[in-house]
Structure 1
Amino acid sequence: MGKKKVLFFNAKREKCNSDSPHLGLGVLAAVLKESGHDVLVVDYQFKPQAPSPKKFIQTYEPDVIGLTLYTATMKEADKILEEIKKFDKPILLGGPHATLYYDTLVKKANYIIVGEAERIISEVVEGAEVTSKGQIIKSEPLDPKNVPNPDFTSFFGYEDIFIYPLLTSRGCPYNCSFCAVRYVSTRKWRPRNIEDCIDEVISAKRVLKGMGSVVIYDDNAMFRKKHIKNFIKCYLDKKINLPLTIINTRADGLDDELVLLLKKANCPSIGIGVESGHPDVFDTVQKGETLEEIIDAAKIVKKYKVPLALCFVIGLEGDSLDKTKSSIELAKKLKPDHIYWNMITPFEGTRIKEWYDQNGKVFDLINHSSWVDGDFMCEEPCAETPEFTVDQRKKAYIMAILETNDTRLSILDIGRLIPYVRTYGLYIEFFRWIPRNIFMMVKKPFKLLHLAIKIYPEIGFAGLFKRIHRN
């Protein structure tokens, strides 16, 4: 079919920047390049100040244009779509939102790819043409051992990549009620070869001169503890000398040996998904682990003095304002260094979406994210029940961040915080929070100094500046 020029876009999420490029688009770029095509990736989440899509299309002159979609960025993605439609080029849509809501997209693009796209992307690009109606193409999951390393040199501004995103496996066998991973990357856990992962990082370090850390973005990196332990041991043996972080950590995957390995790899923090501290609410999630295991894992992390992060979700099945107080009490008991209070987002296909359809309401999810980043205030709740209304959920959130010293909330936010305190009558919580927050502010420079002394030899001044800025 001949060489084609492919231009990929990723829209930016409001109030959230990233020092890490889009991993999925990096892999697709590598697959397409292996098939003889040219690729340019414009990731506005990574490079928010990049020129407009129009300018890239005019200068790069692509044959095919692709856009990866997330529910949380659909409004921005729609703006990009409106701009690229003017150029009469074949348009491809993919990503988690396309996989979950593909039937709503047939009028927006020529091809909607459902699932992991690596197996079919070259064929779709080679046959792409402008059509009157979108074609839904479902792709089967593949063995990640057969996928090339991501090509981040195809990204606009790739020289500024600080966080290197890595997958050591795909999929998660668990079936948490709120999680849509089973539809996006399946419940089949599929590991990569450890040697390939290490070679990928070493090669990337040669090319990406600003690379300052490695983050594992697996759906469930710890499903086989032996696999992740062997990876970290090899990572240490090869003296890669960059802080290593694992996202999506499960409590039942943590033990003394693994925490010690992560500490040796200068892991900046270990996060555990608690979800709820109320036993009845916790049980509805069906995580495949117990609250006792979570408490024990948190104690192990604290024992080895690795910063502990905890994640909770407000609004799970059967949750209420009073039951949220159980989560707050558990958080105070475990004393995390970082805490994240997320508001439930019932995605299509999840068990919790079915539960809300029967027991409450789900509002428009477009541009909605459960994740709070860049600002202390969460987005408007997108679901409610008669027992736990939208207003009560807002109160639960403000109460939680005041009682547990959420690090995104500082004394400088008092002006914006006071109206919420008045509305929800949280005066006692507010006045207890003030001295604790002042104490945290006093401690912060010393914590940053300790961090600087620890990681400066590995990542240098530029990397140190970025890391401290992110903290």
Structure 2
Amino acid sequence: MRSTNKSKRILFFNAKREKCDSNSAHIGLGILSAVLKKSGHEVMVVDYQFNPNAPEPIEVFEDFKPDVIGLTLYTATMKEAERILKQISKFEKPVILGGPHATLYYNDLIEIANYVVIGEAENIIVELVENADINVKGEIIRSEPPDPEKLPFPDFKTFLGHEELYIYPLLTSRGCPYNCSFCAVRLVSTRKWRNRNIENCIEELIQAKNEFKKMGMVVVYDDNAMFRKKHIKKFLNLYLESEINLPLSIINTRADGIDDEILSLLKQADCPSIGIGVESTHPEVFKNIHKGESLEDISKAVNLIKKHKLPLALCFVIGLAGDSLQKTKCSIDFAKKIKPDHIYWNMITPFEGTEIREWYDDHGKVFDLTNHSSWVDGDFMCEEPCAETPEFAIEDRKKAYMMAILETNDTRLSIRDIMRVYPYVKEYGLYNEFFRWIPKSLWKTLKKPFVFLNELIKIYRELGLKLFVKKSLNKIHG
């Protein structure tokens, strides 16, 4: 392609996921906005996940009058993304599709878009936008992964509702060298771990804090932030030295990336919790994941987190290779023993191109993944599983999930949920688990006002009056 060098107006959309709100803007669209603006183009982003009350796509289109439209796609939001596409298709402007779903399922999208981008788009977005042609149909664009060092800071001021940005998303690196059987990261952002300059990251945060007056928290969204411990330790030390003075959270944390020094620094940074991906504690199932770490690493990390008195979150996956109802009980027993502060029981989603998908193609069935999410949230009710095997049928998977949340006393599930839970208890014969859960949940409910009060006092001392009011209201309504 040759650049036309003509300034264009680009309108990006990110569809909302059902039963899930976020105070954090889409970092990928923020960076693409900055890249395009640097080349003289005008950008607007409508991120319905960040701003669910934003106007309908057709209203934004008529107001902004873009030359090119882009949508970032996730498998879990395809239903809503298709609704957006339907609204904007009548305006006959070039449509670019990108994001994880476009990378994994590009062949399914060529009939509904002018261009489909595979991989990270920063290196090709300017040329693509400048030459976008409505007469092109279903062209697949492959993009080489960019060097994060050469990318500008994300421009979140292009987002509708950016004034309300509370959680600031940060990337200190991209990619993950591991090859977990169920994970699609290597297909989207590669196995090559690419880090940013730490001073550059801190400069971005200082600038953001000055720009977004309601900013109250920083979340590191790296694929694997702790792959190089030296890297994350330097970041944490500079974060504390810079006196940004906002709670810091890091997601996608591996057990083997944790040590005493890192946990001490995270505690000083007021990290709200540390999450560990356990996946399964059944030895056979765990071995099939190929995580590159051991169950001993996980136990050691759990003990270290408890030693530092940091809130602990554990994540499990139901339905991995070789899993069964009986084997899931091994993970349930582990969770009951550890008693984490938060716990997540996720249903396997065998994405195209992953090792787990190949395993299911040989050993079971995979159903339509569209609009399916592995993360069970919102009302805590299990979505219809999208895969099964003869040894672990769909009904057994749902039973395993309900058994897990009752036995491990999910901290988000309360006594008021009895009427919604009971039909599943009756269907799967989980009466013992149900009647053991009720007194635990009742005790938790009775303690909640006192825990809530202590949390509010802690927030007030750390954040001051203005942010205290905002976060308190979020807790009350959440």
Q: Same fold (TM over 0.5)?
A: yes
Is the aligned partner of 1:11 residue 2:15?
yes
Partner of 1:453: 457
Q: Could you say what the CA RMSD is over the residues aligned between the two structures, in angstroms?
A: 1.1
Q: Deviations over 1:391-450 (max 9, x none)?
A: 000000000000001123211111111110001000000000001111112222333333
SS at 1:113 equivalent: strand
CA distance in 1, matches of 2:54, 2:81: 15
CA distance in 1, matches of 2:470, 2:289: 39
Q: Deviations over 1:1-33 (max 9, x none)?
A: 321110000001111111101110000000000
Q: How many positions carry a matched residue from both structures? A: 471
Match of 1:425 among 426, 429, 432: 429
CA distance in 2, matches of 1:405, 1:335: 9
Distance of aligned partners of 1:323 and 1:300 in 2 relative to their CA distance in 1, 3 Å threshold = same
SS at 2:313 equivalent: strand
CA contact (8 A) 2:459 2:468 kept: no
Partner of 1:222: 226
1:97-176 → structure 2 map (5 Å cutoff)? 97-131=101-135, 133-176=137-180
Match of 1:48 among 48, 52, 59: 52
Match of 1:179 among 177, 180, 183: 183
Partner of 1:465: 472
CA distance in 2, matches of 1:14, 1:65: 23
CA distance in 2, matches of 1:466, 1:178: 37
Partner of 2:389: 385
Identical positions, percent = 68
CA distance in 2, matches of 1:415, 1:159: 39
Q: Deviations over 1:242-263 (max 9, x none)?
A: 0000000000011111111101
Structure 2 portions without partners, runs of 5+: none
SS at 1:19 equivalent: coil
Q: Deviations over 1:263-321 (max 9, x none)?
A: 11000000000000101101100101011110110111111111000000000000000
CA distance in 2, matches of 1:158, 1:430: 44
Partner of 2:74: 70
Q: TM-score, normalised by structure 2?
A: 0.97
Q: Deviations over 1:194-222 (max 9, x none)?
A: 00100111100111111110000000000
Letter of the aligned partner of 1:279 in structure 2? Answer: P
Is the aligned partner of 1:89 residue 2:93?
yes
CA distance in 2, matches of 1:309, 1:467: 21
Match of 1:273 among 247, 253, 277: 277
SS at 2:11 equivalent: strand
CA distance in 2, matches of 1:374, 1:428: 25
CA distance in 2, matches of 1:373, 1:469: 18
Structure 1 portions without partners, runs of 5+: none
CA contact (8 A) 1:212 1:463 kept: no
CA contact (8 A) 2:12 2:44 kept: yes
SS at 1:274 equivalent: strand
Partner of 2:415: 411
Is the aligned partner of 1:199 residue 2:206?
no
CA contact (8 A) 1:375 1:408 kept: no
SS at 1:231 equivalent: helix
CA distance in 2, matches of 1:455, 1:243: 10
Distance of aligned partners of 1:398 and 1:93 in 2 relative to their CA distance in 1, 3 Å threshold = same
CA distance in 2, matches of 1:52, 1:464: 28
Is the aligned partner of 1:259 residue 2:263?
yes
Q: Deviations over 1:55-76 (max 9, x none)?
A: 0000100010100000000011
Letter of the aligned partner of 1:46 in structure 2? Answer: F
CA contact (8 A) 2:30 2:154 kept: yes
CA contact (8 A) 2:314 2:342 kept: yes
Letter of the aligned partner of 2:352 in structure 1? Answer: E
Partner of 2:371: 367
> What is the Cα deviation at residue 47 of structure 1?
1.0
1:431-450 → structure 2 map (5 Å cutoff)? 431-450=435-454
Is the aligned partner of 1:310 residue 2:317?
no
CA distance in 1, matches of 2:297, 2:275: 14
Is the aligned partner of 1:26 residue 2:30?
yes
CA distance in 2, matches of 1:446, 1:215: 28
CA distance in 2, matches of 1:435, 1:390: 30
Q: Deviations over 1:320-379 (max 9, x none)?
A: 000000000011111100000000000000000000000000000000000122221121
CA distance in 2, matches of 1:104, 1:164: 33
CA distance in 1, matches of 2:66, 2:345: 42
Letter of the aligned partner of 2:417 in structure 1? Answer: D
Letter of the aligned partner of 1:95 in structure 2? Answer: G
Letter of the aligned partner of 2:59 in structure 1? Answer: K
Is 457-466 or 83-92 further displaced after alignment?
457-466
Letter of the aligned partner of 1:29 in structure 2? Answer: S
Distance of aligned partners of 1:300 and 1:466 in 2 relative to their CA distance in 1, 3 Å threshold = farther
CA distance in 2, matches of 1:57, 1:373: 32
Q: Deviations over 1:102-158 (max 9, x none)?
A: 111111110111100000000000001102521100000111001111000000000
